[in-house]
């Protein structure tokens, strides 16, 4: 297991500065992380900082609440790809999912995927707000909409990834090609290793340097 290749090195805080984003990118280059994950405004900056590297850029869309109108999410995703993003991490509309408006949620995911084409789409569930049944429904909607990944959390809710949620999500999408990203509260080597052993394909964390330099 090459731990660094699982990590989306992440900085999404509201008070992140230009210098902080540059530092994030420098750390990604130093430690050969798979990707950096940034808010949409900073995609172009990350693209310039990571030029001539193979480090991917993931951009969050509809972040962190998921309550943005669908057209705005589609436009934001389109602009992120134009600015140099390789992957989009989309927060689904949590309130509509909980309201039972499943078709609208699925169509929104599908619209973003259609806009970004072959680029990777990760759908963020924010599991801390969902029942187990709602998590299963979110898995199926993401599958139906053509998403490439399902993701546990934004890191801005009341809770992050849990082993139980990873098991639930894996069981629900078993037999498909969809992958899983664990994020939220993953700050040490032991926790990151646990999730990888459970079968996740990517780790979203702001503690990537700490994780890969731990003994």
Residues with catalytic annotation? 89, 151, 181
Strand partners, 214: none
Cα distance from N-terminal residue to C-terminal residue, the chain: 15
DSSP track, 131-195: -HHHHHHHHHHHHHHT-SEEE---SSSS----HHHHHHHHHHTTTSS-EEEEESS--SHHHHHHH
């Amino acid at each position: 297991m090459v731990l660094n290749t699982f990590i989306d090195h992440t900085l999404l805080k509201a008070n992140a500065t230009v210098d902080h984003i540059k530092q994030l990118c420098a750390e990604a280059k130093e430690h050969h992380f798979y990707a950096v994950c940034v808010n949409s405004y900073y995609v172009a900056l990350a693209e310039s900082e990571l030029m001539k590297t193979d480090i991917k850029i993931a951009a969050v869309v509809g972040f962190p609440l998921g309550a943005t109108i669908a057209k705005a999410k589609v436009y934001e995703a389109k602009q992120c790809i134009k600015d140099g993003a390789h992957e989009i991490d989309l927060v689904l509309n949590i309130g509509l999912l909980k309201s039972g408006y499943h078709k609208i949620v699925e169509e929104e995911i599908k619209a973003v995927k259609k806009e970004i084409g072959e680029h990777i789409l990760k759908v963020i569930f924010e599991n801390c707000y969902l029942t187990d049944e709602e998590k299963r429904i979110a898995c199926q909607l993401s599958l139906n909409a053509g998403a490439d990944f399902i993701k546990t959390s934004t890191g801005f809710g009341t809770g992050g990834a849990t082993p139980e949620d990873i098991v639930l999500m894996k069981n629900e999408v078993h037999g498909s090609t969809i992958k899983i990203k664990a994020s939220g509260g993953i700050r040490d080597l032991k926790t990151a290793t646990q999730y990888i052993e459970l079968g996740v394909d990517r780790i979203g964390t702001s503690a990537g340097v700490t994780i890969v330099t731990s003994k």
